[in-house]
A and B are shown apart, each in its own frame.
Chain A
Amino acid sequence: MSGIIDFFVDNANTLVEYITTYPFVRYALIVGVLIALCSSLLGVTLVLKRFSFIGDGLSHVAFGAMAMATVIGITDNMIFTMPVTIICAILLLRTGQNTKIKGDAAVAMISVGALAIGYLLMNIFSSSNNLSGDVCSTLFGSTSILTLSVFEVWLCVALSVVVVILFILFYNKIFAVTFDENFAKATGVHSEFYNLLIAVVIAVIIVLAMNLVGSLLISALVIFPALSAMRVFKSFKSVTICSAIFSVSCALLGIVISILFDTPVGSTIVAVDIIAFCAFYLIGLLSGGKAK
């Protein structure tokens, strides 16, 4: 028993030491928490609108765009990645029910296409001698969160604040548009505008989140909190609040574990998410909720 306590005390001490000594650990924690918060807020809407995969699709687009930016020689590739991803997000969310290519197929097509083109470009034009390492770190975000610059941290803080404020201001409208878009539109809510807003915000979050978990695992940040919260809670407000808390706690725990035990950040966070989801699933079953 005392062994376990010692283990925790030791690790807590190491953690405090890291946080006070190394600024990059502080940055990673701040950025991680903010991105987790933002992605979980919109996650509920995306999951309910049957757009779970848009996070995945867009992150691959962001990957392709990033590769392209590297080839063209843009040093700060966010300048290029952000607009491209936003445009794709708008195009994808616009594919409503009456288009020739259905939403899920369009997402799959664009996501695989962007992934392939991105890898191809990196392969042909790469000047780096560690190509697979580069690709791996972009896809799984293994190191980039620990190499954030002060500017990136502030950018992330600013954008996160904007996302949270937008979400609070438009919370009621987002609910109406998510629950029943036709009704909202018929009674005069500008649903196109809110869909556009959701698309832009999700694109921004994804480009930011690529630093944290890499492009393959972003969907996890979007989907897990929402699905877990939906197991247990029954109103939109409680689901939203729960998924925000869920996401932030898991991200925090994941980053801490990865720093202490030197595991890859992105996959650790997702692993924590999976365990927490299982716990919520069980709670849902036991409390007799509709955990179907």
Chain B
Amino acid sequence: MAQIICKDLSLGYDSNVIVKNLNFTVNAGDYLCIVGENGSGKSTLMRTLLSLQKAISGKLEFSDGLTSDKLGYLPQQTFIQRDFPASVWEIVLSGRCSKEGFKPFYSKEDKAIAMQNIKKMEIENLKNRCYRELSGGQQQRVLLARALCATTKALLLDEPVSGLDPMLTNQMYELINNLNKKEKITIIMISHDIESALKYATHILHIGKEIVFGTKEDYLNSKVGKSFLSNWEGGLQ
């Protein structure tokens, strides 16, 4: 089932178009990685998917019971959060906030869901700890648990491993992969790490001068994919 369908989408700020003619479809259970150079419009696309900004033209449709506010979102850490006095429990629970509408307090169900996601992320021992005292990897798990509180269908992840060391990076990828395979949650991830993107993703969306969308195999065989990969490997050496 298609969850997100983009047709001829143009993205940007005001009249400044960054990405043109974007076409892609995300099906339930897909693992889509969005790759491309800095400034190519990856984050703009993500903000548009989340309805934080409007598309300039084109169509963005949600179906299969998904709407933009049912997407779970793992943002990059903001400046404000680094010294924010909040416990892990408060943050994870805040993922349920929108589900309450104008009701002022969290229900038992909300708390149960929050607890369940805390267990899923294996951070029960951190439940009452202060967020700003956690390590980078632990903080990401907290934010991921919060994102899971907001969704059962699809997760948007904005560079989930930036700033993590190699071991934590692998753990994070495995965690996300498990959510995709076991819980059947659709994953849409912005990534700089093309190697891991190719390891886990089922689909790749390459944004840049040329836009390529397709399964991983299609991408590996495409011209853009080949040149991007050879640049990447060249950069490594």
Contact = CB atoms under 8 A, between A and B. Distances in A.
B100 interface: yes
Contacts of B73: 182-183, 186-187
**Could you say which interface size class chain B belongs to?**
35 or more
B75 A172 contact: no
B90 interface: yes
A98 B51 CA distance: 16
Contact of B69 (A48, A179, A187, A234): A187
Interface stretch (A10-18, A152-160, A235-243, A260-268): A235-243
Contacts of A170: 104
A183 B146 contact: yes
Interface string A216-240: 0000000000000110011111010
Given A183-B146, A184-B97, A235 B90 contact: yes
Given A171-B104, A183-B73, A186-B71, A239 B94 contact: no
Contacts of B93: 172
Contacts of A182: 50, 52, 73, 75, 78
A229 B89 CA distance: 19
Contact of A187 (B83, B98, B129): B98
A94 interface: no
B184 to A, nearest CB: 20
A290 B83 contact: yes
B98 A184 contact: yes
Contacts, number: 101
**Could you say which interface size class chain A belongs to?**
20 to 34
A185 interface: yes
Interface of A: 48-50, 98, 168-173, 175-176, 178-180, 182-189, 229-230, 233-237, 239, 290, 292
B80 A188 contact: no
Interface of B: 13, 50-52, 68-69, 71-73, 75, 78, 80-81, 83-87, 89-91, 93-95, 97-98, 100, 104-106, 128-130, 132-133, 146-147, 150
Contacts of B83: 230, 290, 292
B85 A172 contact: no
Contacts of B100: 172
Contacts of A183: 73, 75, 95, 146-147, 150
Contacts of B75: 180, 182-183
Contact of A188 (B84, B98, B130): B98
20 contacts: A48-B84, A48-B85, A98-B13, A168-B104, A173-B97, A176-B98, A179-B86, A182-B75, A183-B73, A183-B75, A185-B50, A186-B51, A186-B69, A230-B83, A233-B85, A234-B85, A235-B90, A235-B128, A236-B90, A292-B83
Given A188-B69, A230-B85, A175 B98 contact: no
Contact of B80 (A48, A169, A229, A239): A48
A-B interface, 7 closest residue pairs, ranked by CB to CB distance from nearest: A188-B69, A234-B130, A235-B87, A186-B50, A188-B98, A176-B97, A176-B94
Nearest to A171: B104
